[in-house]
Homo-oligomer: A and B are copies of this chain.
């Protein structure tokens, strides 16, 4: 979608890049604080494209990526299933009409009371990666289906996961046996190749690794039927990614070939469904140099690491910026947030190239910011309000 209409103040932007309808809206509206503008229609389009590629696999939207009610409601209407990280996310989905049978409680770290809540609400599918968790599920959700989360060592993602979730193969097989002994139904496995895995080919090594566990478990007598391939579907941040449908079809093809007997395939896209469905409108507060001889300017925005841009930690996600002065000569900038916290610096190791003419008061758009922004925002760090969210 490129901008064809004439928008006051948008000419400069249009010189260097075409803007989507969403971006034009965000640019031309006035906001009194940093605001994430989301477009559920883009989420719907992403869903249709992914679904076309995923075929028989169920899409469980990872609600944590963006829990905006408008997005969850749109996905329910499209028939999406959900991956919930907490009781709060389950309540959100149910409050908007999602059927409990479409919700997977995908966090391997759950309070006993929250497991009981989910079970009472009709949720029947739980993730597990440790004996103590299995015992909690057996006690508070008797008879539930469980899938075992596995560690992936072969990740090639931009935002690779730590060893925080998942267990190794021997532990997984022991958990399946123990689940059966506890009266639970161990239906399959799950894994996550890492967030923002840019090319479908990058999945092959991880899928080979997981297929080895699948085969071993079935050889040990566990009648597995479910493969949960997690997320990892990329959003566009400037580096080339494959078309969503092709990407998904390629991944599912690899899964079909590696997991015999998998009658149920789950995918948990988050970023891939909502990343490009949101744009943040913010503002330059100050441009300065620390000394006359500094090579880099410092550019301070009214949004930072603690007010929505948490994924800039370690400069992991590199957002794209649109400014009213795009097209002017550029120079390197250290980009920082507005708070008095010295850690609230977005890009310093690899400075951002921005127009040399940029100045306080300039409105800036942060593109493709629909995932992992609004809900990460602090309640009131340094007295700044949380990131506002507006749906068009």
Residues in chain B near residue A342, CB distance under 8 A: 160-162, 164-165
Option from B89, B170, B288 in Cβ contact (under 8 Å) with A383: B89
Is A276 an interface position by the 8 A CB rule?
no
Given known A111-B283, A132-B286, A288-B131, contact A64–B340 (CB-CB < 8 A) = yes
In the complex, chain B residues whose CB is within 8 Å of the CB of A381: 64, 375-376
| Smallest beta-carbon distance A239→chain B, Å | 20
- Whether B85 and A343, one on each chain, are in contact in the complex, defined by CB atoms closer than 8 angstroms, is no
Q: Give complex CA distance A360, B128 in Å.
A: 14
Q: Is A186 located at the chain interface by the 8 A CB criterion?
A: no
**A164–B130 CB distance below 8 A:** no
Q: Is the CB of A348 closer than 8 A to any CB of chain B?
A: yes
Q: How many copies does the complex hold?
A: 2
Assembly CA distance A111 to B32 (angstroms) = 11
Structural contact, A378 and B375, CB atoms closer than 8 A: yes
Q: Mark A313-344, 1 if CB is under 8 A from B, else 0.
A: 10000000000000000000000101111111
Question: What residue in chain B is nearest A287 (Cβ atoms)?
Answer: B132
Minimum CB–CB distance from A148 to chain B (whole Å) comes to: 12
Task: State whether the Cβ of A71 lies closer than 8 Å to any Cβ in chain B.
Answer: no
Which chain A residues (279-325) contact chain B, with CB distance < 8 Å?
283, 285-292, 298, 300, 302, 306, 310, 313
A199 located at the interface, meaning its Cβ lies under 8 Å from any Cβ of chain B in the complex: no
B86, B92, B162, B343: the one within 8 Å of A343 (CB) = B162
Select the residue from A110, A151, A384 with max chain B CB neighbours within 10 A. Answer: A384
- Chain A residues touching B, range: 35 or more
- Cβ of A167 < 8 Å from any Cβ of B? yes
Minimum CB–CB distance from A379 to chain B (whole Å) comes to 5
Task: Kindly report which residue of chain B lies nearest to residue A195, judged by CB atoms.
Answer: B342
Please name all residues of chain B whose beta carbon is closer than 8 Å to the beta carbon of A161 when the two chains form the complex: 342
A179, chain B: closest CB distance, angstroms: 15
The reply to whether A382 and B375 contact each other, CB–CB distance below 8 Å, is yes
Q: Are B380 and A378 in contact (CB under 8 A)?
A: no
Q: Is the CB of A380 within 8 A of B384?
A: no
Q: Is the CB of B340 within 8 A of A165?
A: yes
A130: chain B residues within 8 A (beta carbon)? 286-289
Report chain B residues within 8 Å CB of A383.
63-64, 67, 84-92, 375
Q: Interface centre among A85, A133, A306, A379, by most B CB within 10 Å? A: A379
CB neighbours (8 Å) of A162 from chain B are: 342-343, 345, 348
Contact A106 B340 (CB under 8 A): yes
Q: Determine whether A222 belongs to the interface, using a CB cutoff of 8 Å to chain B.
A: no
A288 to B164 CA separation, bound complex (whole angstroms) = 10
A residues engaging B (CB < 8 A)?
62-64, 67, 84-92, 106-112, 129-133, 136, 151, 160-168, 170-171, 283, 285-292, 298, 300, 302, 306, 310, 313, 336, 338-345, 348, 359-361, 374-386
